[in-house]
């Protein structure tokens, strides 16, 4: 595949749910289009490895969804970061067992409320029970109130997540930008949710681009996928510059 030398200018960071993949009723119900992994693999090659996924999902889920692609990644909103050499860095954050118990009881009492457990956080989804939003929000907020120095309530799409106060996607992007093959490049971050705002800001602060699915892609992940595919055309750097008005 012909690749412009200017490709070396860029590093690309991609959120997954709501960005690469369409939102589904539950995290387990998402569908990965058949040609997506091929497009991402080609993009990673074109960028000499400077491609990373930055997601609220666990590292295992990221690898399962995008198999056999295996690349740098920030999971659980940055609580787990896999470096390009495969080394894994993890935040020292543990959700108290009593919090997990309380939220499981909440889900039992409100059909449609789903609990997503991770190593360093816990999510309460109410997409299938939107009427439960007030009780979900109140419960999660009350739980975190006694540990506000260590935990934040992170609002997401039809969900609330309890996660470590010093964990963020922005911090993960900054960490990866300190090491090859990301270091010295212009970061381009694409995300769709409030959890992506710190990473969008980090990319902009580093002289790159922070793109929001709603603002820049009409709220449609299929347009993000088409854009990703376009980046592996003969001159991806030129295409990036043309689409978003940045110099190569």
pLDDT band at 248 (very low <50, low <70, confident <90, very high): very low
Mean pLDDT along residues 30-48 = 93
Of residues 15, 17, 152, 193, which has the active-site annotation?
Answer: 15
Helix axes 169-176, 197-205, angle to 10 degrees: 30
**pLDDT for 243 beyond 80:** no
35 is catalytic: no
Average pLDDT (179-203) is 94
pLDDT at 3 over 50: no
- Lowest average pLDDT, out of 6-10, 110-114, 125-129, 169-173, goes to 6-10
Using pLDDT thresholds of 50, 70 and 90, give the confidence band for residue 154.
confident
User: Does domain 97-164 sit in CATH 3.30.70.1020?
Assistant: yes
Determine the pLDDT at residue 25.
Answer: 80
**Averaged pLDDT for residues 112-141:** 92
Q: Does domain 5-91+167-244 have CATH number 3.40.1010.10?
A: no
Domain residue spans of the chain: 5-91+167-244, 97-164
In this predicted structure, which of 101-115, 176-190, 233-247 has the lowest mean pLDDT? 233-247
d(Cα 27, Cα 134) in Å, to the nearest integer? Answer: 21
**8 Å CB contact between 56 and 195:** yes
CA dihedral 113, 118, 121, 122 (to 10 degrees): 10
| 12 vs 195: which has the higher pLDDT | 12
pLDDT band at 237 (very low <50, low <70, confident <90, very high): low
- pLDDT bracket for residue 222 (50, 70, 90): very high
pLDDT of residue 240: 63
């Amino acid at each position: 595949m012909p690749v412009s030398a200017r490709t070396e200018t860029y590093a690309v960071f991609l959120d997954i749910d709501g960005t690469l993949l369409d939102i589904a009723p539950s995290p387990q119900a998402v569908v990965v289009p058949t040609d997506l992994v091929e497009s991402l693999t080609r993009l990673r090659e074109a960028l000499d490895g400077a491609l990373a996924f930055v997601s609220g999902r666990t590292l295992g889920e990221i690898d399962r969804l995008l198999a056999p692609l295996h690349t740098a990644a920030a999971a659980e909103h940055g609580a787990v970061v896999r470096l390009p050499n495969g080394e894994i860095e993890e935040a020292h954050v543990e959700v108290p067992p009593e919090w997990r118990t309380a939220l499981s009881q909440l889900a039992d009492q409100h059909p449609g409320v789903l609990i997503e457990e991770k190593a360093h956080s816990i999510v309460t989804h109410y997409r299938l029970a939107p009427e439960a939003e007030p009780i979900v929000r109140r419960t999660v907020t009350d739980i975190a109130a006694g540990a506000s120095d260590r935990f934040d309530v992170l609002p997401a799409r039809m969900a609330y997540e309890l996660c470590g106060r010093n964990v963020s996607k922005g911090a993960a992007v900054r960490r990866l930008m300190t090491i090859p093959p990301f270091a010295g490049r212009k970061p381009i971050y694409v995300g769709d949710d409030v959890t992506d705002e710190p990473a969008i800001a980090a990319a902009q602060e580093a002289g790159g681009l922070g793109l929001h699915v709603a603002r820049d892609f009409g709220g449609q992940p299929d347009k993000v996928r088409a854009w990703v595919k376009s980046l592996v055309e003969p001159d991806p750097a030129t295409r990036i510059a043309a689409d978003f008005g940045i110099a190569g």
